[in-house]
Amino acid sequence: MAGVDQATLKALLKSVEKQKQDLAVHLGIAASAVTEIFQGRRQVKMAEAPRMASFLKISRDDLFRVLGVDLPNSDRRLIIAGIVSEDVIVLRSPPGDAPLEEVESPIPGYDGIVVRITGNSMAPRYRPGDLIAFRPNGALPADLIGRDAVVETEDGTLLLKIIQPGSEPDRYVLLSCNPAIPPIVNVQLRAVAEIDWHKP
Q: What angle do CA 56, 24, 3 make, to 5 degrees?
A: 65
**Nearby residues of 95 by Cβ (< 8 Å), 6 or more positions away:** none
Q: What is the pLDDT of residue 1?
A: 47
As a whole number of angstroms, the distance between CA 128 and CA 126 comes to 7
Q: What is the pLDDT of residue 144?
A: 92
pLDDT higher than 80, residue 80: yes
Q: What is the pLDDT of residue 3?
A: 79
Q: Which residue has the higher pLDDT, 182 or 1?
A: 182
Nearest to 79 by CA among 101, 64, 53, 98: 101
pLDDT grade for 186, boundaries at 50, 70 and 90: very high
Task: With beta carbons less than 8 A apart as the criterion, state whether 149 and 131 touch.
Answer: no
Domain layout of the chain by residue ranges: 6-66, 77-134, 141-199
pLDDT above 90: percentage of residues in the chain = 45
As a whole number of angstroms, the distance between CA 130 and CA 117 comes to 5
Nearest to 57 by CA among 138, 113, 111, 118: 138
pLDDT grade for 75, boundaries at 50, 70 and 90: low
The tens digit of pLDDT for each residue in 104-124 reads: 887 767 778 899 999 888 888
pLDDT higher than 60, residue 73: no
Q: What is the pLDDT of residue 12?
A: 93
Task: With beta carbons less than 8 A apart as the criterion, state whether 163 and 174 touch.
Answer: yes
pLDDT grade for 94, boundaries at 50, 70 and 90: low
pLDDT grade for 132, boundaries at 50, 70 and 90: very high
pLDDT grade for 175, boundaries at 50, 70 and 90: very high
- DSSP per residue, the chain: -PPP-HHHHHHHHHHTT--HHHHHHHHTS-HHHHHHHHHTSSPPPTTTHHHHHHHHTS-HHHHHHHTTPPPPS-TTEEEEEEEEETTEEEE-PPSTTPPPPEEE-SSTT---EEEEE-SSTTTTTS-TT-EEEE----B-GGGGBTSEEEEEETT--EEEEEEEE-SSTT-EEEE-SSTTSPPEEEE-EEEEEEEEEEE-
CATH architecture for the domain at 6-66: Orthogonal Bundle (1.10)
pLDDT grade for 184, boundaries at 50, 70 and 90: very high
Mean pLDDT of the chain: 86
Q: Which residue has the higher pLDDT, 70 or 114?
A: 114
> Which CATH entry fits the domain spanning 141-199: 2.40.10, 2.30.30, 1.20.5, 1.10.8?
2.30.30
